[in-house]
Amino acid sequence: MELYLLLFALLAIALAIAWRFATRASRASAQRNARARRGEDAAERLLERSGFTILERQATRRWSFEVDGELHVAGVRADLLVTRNERLFVAEVKTGSLAPNPCHPATRRQLLEYWFVYEPDGLLLVDMERCEVREVCFPFS
């Protein structure tokens, strides 16, 4: 009987610890999402002040590719599609210290993916830490 009580107590403690970590992670995720949403709202205002027109928020497109001859389809979602002077741009909004840097590998790969999927006239990297809009071009553009 004592062994069952001990096992039950250990299980209860493990569940309490797991619940605490889960709620902490959930809270951190919610805070990141709220910060990102505030950044995107501010980015829209910055882009509009810079002469851009917002066409679409969280613009989602499907893209197909092959792996060993088998067709795969993936969804891609860009923060904003905007226009200025009859040119279409994909705008990616970044906050923090690393992500707004176009040389950061994850950011660069993301922009390259947008270039191929959306086929825009240009790419914009909106750095909300510096309140800057930067146009990114690749050598083949």
Residue 36: its pLDDT value, please?
Answer: 67
Question: Residue 55: in which H helix or E strand, if any?
Answer: strand 53-67
- Considering its fold, how many domains does the chain have in total? 1
Contact 86, 7 (CB under 8 A): no
In a domain, 67, yes or no: yes
Residue 57: its pLDDT value, please?
Answer: 95
Q: Concatenated DSSP letters for 22-34?
A: HHHHHHHHHHHHH
In a domain, 141, yes or no: no
In a domain, 71, yes or no: yes
Residue 32: its pLDDT value, please?
Answer: 65
74-97 per-residue burial string, b: 16 or more CB within 10 A, e: under 16: eebebbbbbeeeeeebbbbbbbee
| Full domain range(s) for residue 39 | 2-136
Residue 126: its pLDDT value, please?
Answer: 95
Residue 74: its pLDDT value, please?
Answer: 95
In a domain, 15, yes or no: yes
Which tokens in the block code for residue 35? Answer: 């910060």
Q: What is the pLDDT along the chain (141 residues), one digit of tens a residue?
A: 677 777 777 777 877 888 887 777 677 777 766 766 777 889 999 999 999 999 999 999 999 999 999 999 999 999 999 999 999 999 999 988 777 788 889 999 999 999 999 999 999 999 998 999 999 988 875
> CA-CA distance, 101 to 94, in Å (whole number)?
9
In a domain, 74, yes or no: yes
In a domain, 57, yes or no: yes
